[in-house]
Amino acid sequence: MNAHARHPPVPAATPGYLPWAPELTGEPSPPPVARSPRRIDPAAALWLPARLAWRQLRAEKARLFSAIAGVMFACVLVFMQLGFRSALFDSATALLASFRADLYLMHPLTVVSFKPETLPRVRASQALALPEVAQAVPVYLAQATWRNPVNGTRRPIQLVGFDLEAGVMDFPGLAPLIPALKQPDTMAFDLRSRPEFGPVPALLADRGPFQAQVANRRMEVVGLIEIGPSFGADGNVVMSETNFRRLVKERLVSQVDLVAIKLAPGADPAAAAARLRAVMPPDVRVFNGRELVQFERDYWEEATPIGFIFMFGSIMGLIVGMVIVYQILFSDIASHLKEYATLKAMGYSNFYLGRAVLSAALILAVLGFLPGFALSTALYDFVGKGTFLPLEMDAERALGVFAMIFTMCATAGLLAMRKLRDANPADMF
Amino acid sequence: MTAPVEIAGLGYAYGEGELRRPVLRDIALTLAPGEIVLLTGPSGSGKTTLLTLIGALRAMQEGRCRVLGEELLGASEGQRVALRRRIGFIFQQHNLLGFLTAQQNVAMSIELDPATSERARLERATAMLAAVGLSDRGASRPAQLSGGQRQRVAVARALAGDPGLILADEPTAALDRQSGGEVVRLLRDLAKRRGVPILLVTHDPRILDIADRIIAMEDGRIVPTKQAEAVPAP
Ligand SMILES: Nc1ncnc2c1ncn2[C@@H]1O[C@H](COP(=O)(O)OP(=O)(O)OP(=O)(O)O)[C@@H](O)[C@H]1O
Ligand SMILES: [Mg+2]
């Protein structure tokens, strides 16, 4: 047995070696690591645990890819929910957002533009009395049935009537049509109306102005303007005040839905609005364009469950993503408890290992967000074309979603970190 | 030179209240600088418990235990974590990190020293691997190494951080006779060359010859020691 006899102590102390150092073969001993008095590098305190986390993630490709897929899934879900939400709100207010006047008067009891409370027409003339007001035109809004000129189906369409020549309201494409729209029984069609109204732009290009049936009356489509479909109406037509009155006979001329005001050049909109509020009777509320759109948006956000539905969808996506990330980090720790305990025995603190777990979570956030962002951008384009919803990726939303995904992964990391306490270095022996 | 390990009147019990069961009683033990001490004894005699107390892996309960100049009784978690960095551990299993190469595993024991550069760490790890005869396996993962090679990487890792003390618990248990002998002799040589003391728990009679001193434990106490030379070959 004892074939390896113990070596007798080396009598003379070799420099660097203790006197009892055995069988020195002349092979140089590795130099001790240089402990220079260099200052502690705070970047290393973040970088080293992050590198450890990345090496661990990278080692198990299948687990890494399922984690990335989970984050990506959450990311796409949140992007789609938020995209739909804002697209619906944008489209809900498309008609009002396309108005180009400076100020608007509306009845204070109106809650949403497609069910307006009327206000007296004389408020327009009263507004004109103020020197700041250059023009004030009554606007009439109503819905009527449109018959598809090709297959005869009927759908409700939004009618907008006002004094075209006053130049207060403007829509893209309207100006050159004004002379034609002064003829009796004419109208301009919104080219972004949904296709169910018929291929109106194609028909116009094909055979010029043609007859279409609105509210059981034949009217001539003389040209195209651009507004966009909204919640209340899938399509719009614009016509002169006179033609509107012919079409909607039950409406009293003296009752208007909105008064659009153009201010004199150089007038301060805020001051003018304040003066209008002061002089107008209490059946009038004064808005500027932004306030009018926001007012309409608030209705859809607060009075309908739409906002809640999409918020709920986003939160579900984040929770599912968090559970996936948590599961992966947790099982990563659980299956490497021995290794974590060894690191603790080597002097790694809980705090250091916690930083490694958190780094893993944040690496997953970034790795999942990037493809999720790319996929969502592609889906916005694809789905936007299919639904006519204005789905567009913008930097603000991208940053917002990244912040959510980051928080989601960080939460998962913080939860999974508790598992580190189970790694007890005293159990290692 | 003060002794790296000085223990007096150390006691330890597992459990609370009714279930309290003392496993160490009145232990006194001193390790001289550079000394290699083997700890043997029947299963359940408290060897591992003593080793975890000396290694600052467990909180002390009573007695005095001074390791590398630090008193462990009443030491905080933070103080114990800091002390562990100055101790090299070798476990029954190699416990290398499977997702790191041999070189990276060895470098892990220096990464906690903020004053080292990445290059210095890798050079140091390479030199340590060469010292355990694995200079060509630095890029291998633990799964690609044999059991003996893994345990040699573990030896390199324990020594890379320039520890003041090495604690090993049955490091040869998972190895066959040949590689077990190689690993402990390597450990002994490297430690002797640096003057690092070793406290090694073992049941393996084939490695008793590396010891300067052998201590036997029985039922939580240290029993009168015999000389290493006096241990009969089985
Ligand atoms: N975590 C623990 N909780 C409770 N009792 C424990 C714990 N660890 C060990 N013990 C008990 O303490 C006693 C000493 O255990 P220890 O592991 O120190 O023995 P050992 O000498 O290392 O034995 P072996 O040679 O089998 O490794 C044993 O009776 C054991 O059952
Ligand atoms: Mg044991």
Cβ of B224 under 8 Å from any chain A Cβ? no
Residue-level pLDDT at A395? 92
Per-residue pLDDT, B18: 87
Across the range A278-289, mean pLDDT stands at 90
> Are both B175 and B223 inside the same structural domain?
yes
Residue ranges making up the domain that contains B157: 93-162
Residue type, B57: L
Number of structural domains chain B divides into:
2
Q: Which atom of ligand 1 is nearest to the CA of B41?
A: 21
Tell me A179's DSSP state: H
Pairing of strands B36-40, B198-201: parallel
Do B29 and B80 have their domain in common?
yes
Task: Tell me, yes or no, whether B173 and B154 share the same domain.
Answer: no
For residues B81 and B106, state if they share a domain.
Answer: no
Interface of B with A in 159-188 (CB under 8 A): 160-162, 169, 181, 185, 188
Residue A22 pLDDT grade (very low, low, confident, very high; cuts 50, 70, 90): very low
Tell me: do B143 and B179 sit in the same domain: no
The CATH number given to whatever domain includes residue B36 is 3.40.50.300
CB contact under 8 A, B104 and A55: yes
Would you place residue A40 in the very low, low, confident or very high pLDDT band (cuts 50, 70, 90)?
low
Cβ contact, residue pair A428, B209, below 8 Å: no
- A256 forms beta bridges with A119
Provide the shortest C-alpha distance from residue A36 to chain B (in Å).
6
| Residue to mutate, B10, B14, B93, ligand 1, most ligand atoms under 8 Å from C-beta | B14
pLDDT tier, A306 (very low <50, low <70, confident <90, very high otherwise): confident
Asked whether the beta carbons of residue B57 and residue A23 sit closer than 8 angstroms, the reply is no
A22/B131 touch (CB, cutoff 8 Å), yes or no: no
Question: Is pLDDT at A143 greater than 50 in this prediction?
Answer: yes
Q: What does the pLDDT average to over A144-153?
A: 91
Residues 6+ apart with CB under 8 A from A291: none
- Scan for tokens 């027409």, then name that residue: A121
Q: How far is CA B196 from CA A43, A59, B117, in A?
A: 33, 35, 24
Cβ contact B108–A343 (<8 Å)? yes
Q: What pLDDT score was predicted for residue B226?
A: 55
Task: Indicate if the pLDDT at residue A32 is higher than 70.
Answer: no
Among B139, B162, B185, residue at a domain's last position: B162
Helix (H, G, I), strand (E, B) or coil at A135: strand
Residues B221 and B180 in one domain: yes
Sign of the torsion formed by the C-alpha atoms of A409, A415, A416 and A418: positive
Q: Which atom of ligand 1 is nearest to the CA of B42?
A: 25
Residue nearest to atom 28 of ligand 1 (CA): B44
Q: How confident is the model at residue B225 (pLDDT cuts 50, 70, 90)?
A: low
Report whether pLDDT(A421) > 50.
Answer: yes
Of B99, B193, B205, the CB nearest to A21: B193
pLDDT-based confidence at A387, cuts 50/70/90? Answer: confident
> What band does A336 get if pLDDT is binned at 50, 70 and 90?
confident
Q: Tell me the three state secondary structure of residue A85.
A: helix
Q: Domain check: are B76 and B171 in the same one?
A: yes
A-chain CB neighbours of B201 within 8 Å are 429
Q: Which of B122, B147, B162 corresponds to the end of one domain?
A: B162
Given this model, what pLDDT does residue A360 score?
93
**Which residues are bridge partners to B218 per DSSP?**
B221
Which residues lie with the beta carbon below 6 Å from any ligand 1 atom? B 14, 23, 41, 43-49
Question: A419: which DSSP letter?
Answer: G
What is the pLDDT at residue B176?
85
Is A48 in Cβ contact with B82 (below 8 Å)? no
- Chain A nearest-CA residue for B234: A1
Query: CB within 5 A of ion ligand 2: which residues?
Result: B 48
Name the residue with higher pLDDT: A311 or A112. A311
What confidence tens digit (pLDDT) does each residue in A54-73 have? 999 998 899 899 999 999 99
What is the C-alpha to C-alpha distance for residues A379 and A371, in angstroms, rounded to an integer? 12
* B176 and B128 assigned to the same domain: no
Q: For residues B153 and B174, state if they share a domain.
A: no
Res. B215 pLDDT band, cuts 50 70 90: very high
Whether residues B57 and B128 share a domain: the answer is no
Mean pLDDT on A26-44: 52
Residues B78 and B30 in one domain: yes
How close A400 comes to chain B (CA, Å)? 34
B37, B83, B87, B91, best to mutate vs chain A, most A CBs in 10 Å: B91
Which residues in chain B are contacts of A45 at CB distance < 8 A?
114
Q: Do B114 and A41 contact (CB within 8 A), yes or no?
A: yes
Interchain contact B139–A (C-beta under 8 A) = no
Question: Structure pTM?
Answer: 0.77
Beta bridge partners of A408: none
Q: Is residue B173 located within the same domain as residue B220?
A: yes
pLDDT > 90: percent of chain A: 50
Q: How many Å lie between the alpha carbon of A426 and the closest alpha carbon of chain B? A: 5
Cα separation, A376 vs A43, whole angstroms: 34
| Chain A to chain B Cβ contacts (< 8 Å) | 134
| Cα B68 to averaged position of ligand 2 atoms, centre (Å) | 23
ipTM: 0.88
State the pLDDT at residue B232. Answer: 46
Q: Which ligand is nearest to the CA of B49?
A: 1
* Domain boundary, last residue among B104, B127, B162: B162
The pLDDT score that the predictor gives to residue A43 is: 76
Q: What is the pLDDT of residues B36-47, one digit of tens each?
A: 999 999 999 999
DSSP code of A311? H
Long-range Cβ contact pairs of B112-116 (< 8 A, separation 24 or more)? B112/A346, B112/A347, B112/A348, B112/A352, B112/B85, B112/B161, B113/A33, B113/A35, B113/B85, B113/B161, B114/A40, B114/A41, B114/A44, B114/A45, B115/A34, B115/A35, B115/A36, B115/A37, B115/A38, B115/A40, B116/A33, B116/A34, B116/A35
Two structure tokens written together for B99:
């997702």
Q: DSSP class of residue A127? A: H
Question: What's the whole-number mean pLDDT along residues A193-222?
Answer: 91
Does B58 contact A426 at a Cβ distance shorter than 8 Å? yes
The CB density around residue B179, as the number of other CB atoms within 10 Å, is 18
Chain A residue numbers touching B57 (CB-CB < 8 A): 345, 425-426, 428-429
- Return the H-helix or E-strand segment holding A91: helix A61-92
Asked if the Cβ–Cβ distance from A38 to B115 is below 8 Å, we say yes
